[in-house]
Amino acid sequence: MAGRGRPSQRAARLAVFRRLGFYNHRRRHSTTGYLTPVLYEHRSTPLAIAA
């Protein structure tokens, strides 16, 4: 997008939506045992309810 001016509002919203989709569903981290954030949350929910 460099040199093309500002992106349209629609393009900016789509870029944010895609980034959040990646971040929330596919990004893995060593702290969570290399699970995606969604899988980690699903696995920890029963523990939180039982506690």
pLDDT digits (tens, 9 = 90+) for 9-36: 999 999 888 887 777 667 777 887 888 7
15: tokens are 């870029």
Q: Within 10 Å of residue 41's Cβ, how many Cβ atoms?
A: 13
Question: In the chain, where are the structural domains located?
Answer: 9-50
Q: What is the pTM of this model?
A: 0.41
pLDDT confidence bin for 1, thresholds 50/70/90: very low
Helix (H, G, I), strand (E, B) or coil at 25: helix
**pLDDT of res. 10:** 92
First to last CA, the chain: 49
12: tokens are 């900016």
